[in-house]
Amino acid sequence: MSENEATTTAFHEVIAAQGGSHVEDGGWMWLEGFGDVSKEYAAIRDDAAVWDVSPLNKWEFRGPDALRAAQRVFSNDALGLEVGQVRYGAFLDAAGLMVDDGTVFNTAQEDHCWVMTNARDHEEYFGEAAAGLDAEFEWITPSMPHLGVVGPRSREVVQKLTHEDIGSLRYFRFVPRLVEVAGVEVHLSRTGYGGELGYELFLHDPADAETLWNAIVGAGVTPFGTDAIEVARVEAGLIVTEYDYTPHERTPFDFDLDKCVRLDRGLGFLGEDALRAVAAAPPNRFVTLRYEADDLPEYGAAVTRGGETVGVLTSPTDSPRFGQIGLAVIESAQAIVGNTLDVAVGDGTASATVDVLPIYDTEKKRPRASSH
């Protein structure tokens, strides 16, 4: 797909006018950044930052069996969601392999939920999931553009722009009605990406995009793009389809998503029995690898021990805080912190050391920071 054919978001023009550059990925023009990755990264980690996450694929499931239809392909507990609650998990095939990963939102409207995924091409997949149920679904991404406001000061900034008390909004919860932020109607969610406290603002009317963007940036929030979030998400151990995995090739256990695979509730999702067998002894684990090399390894570089392949480096980066690191799926026997392996770099290899996952905020306290 050429750049001319890629879809632009509702925020594209105002961002481009302010110096933001874009790159095509998955049929959309994603905000790449504003030319200073170090500044953008620092804002994510130490202050408040905002990015355009509109290309995240959003689906609306409707009907008395809306949640049940989502549950058929979702590894976490969708049926048990309270109104205003969000859960993250894997979307699975019949073999228990990951088709995608994402979230399910239980909205305040009866018989209605949102499903959010990385990929767009799920019509047939969701259609099969809804077969025989009183449910229908629709791809609603263009009509629901949204921004992510992240960083330790994100609560302070968003609170100044709304009369809604967001101090009481818990992690992975959203306000189950429209609220005004900067005078614009949005769905406000305490979710995000990058391993920090964060909020997502889903526009009710795409025509309000410029107003919302300018209000947030005008409040002293640093805009950033995919170049900066790539560093942050590797530090935080967050995966992306087509980078860390190809659909239908890996189970959620390869990414240590054990807590997101609810095998204890008889939910009846695709691949449940297959995953029960894997859960007893997962063959692979997800780790952070540290290494030092003249050049950054490639995505998908082989991880070896004694010349034998024991895994794959799925996502490498150069972190301002941790140096050269990467996410890797490796054999469980090798996934011991401190273990020394090798990672392919160019025509040779570099020594690599297994470290904790995630390497940043290992206990994930920052995104869960007290709401009071």
Each residue of 323-333: pLDDT tens digit?
A: 999 999 999 99
Asked whether this chain's domains 3-54+144-234 and 283-356 adopt the same fold, the reply is no
Cα–Cα dist 148/226, whole Å: 12
CATH class of the domain whose range is 3-54+144-234: alpha beta
pLDDT at 110: 79
pLDDT at 5: 83
Which architecture does CATH list for 283-356? Beta Barrel (2.40)
- What is the mean predicted confidence (pLDDT) over 64-73? 97
- What is the mean predicted confidence (pLDDT) over 216-243? 97
Q: Is the per-residue pLDDT at 372 higher than 90?
A: no
Q: Is the per-residue pLDDT at 253 higher than 70?
A: yes
Concatenating the DSSP letter of every residue in 71-107 gives HTTBSS-STTPPTTEEEEEEEE-TTS-EEEEEEEEE-
Cβ-based neighbours of 98, under 8 Å, separated by 6 or more: 90, 91, 92, 241, 245, 247, 248, 249, 250, 251, 252
Cα–Cα dist 344/164, whole Å: 51
Residue 40 parent element (H or E): helix 37-46
Residues 50, 224: contact at Cβ < 8 Å?
yes
Residue 188, Cβ density class (10 Å: 0-12 exposed, 13-18 middle, ≥19 buried): buried
- What is the mean predicted confidence (pLDDT) over 352-368? 97
Cα–Cα dist 77/129, whole Å: 16
The predicted model scores a pTM of 0.96
pLDDT at 93: 98
Which percentage of the chain shows pLDDT scores above 90? 97
pLDDT, tens digit, 9 for 90 and up, residues 107-153: 977 799 999 999 999 999 999 999 999 999 999 999 999 999 999 99
pLDDT at 2: 44
Could you tell me the residue ranges of all domains in the chain? 3-54+144-234, 283-356
Q: Is the dihedral of CA 327, 328, 332, 335 positive or negative?
A: negative
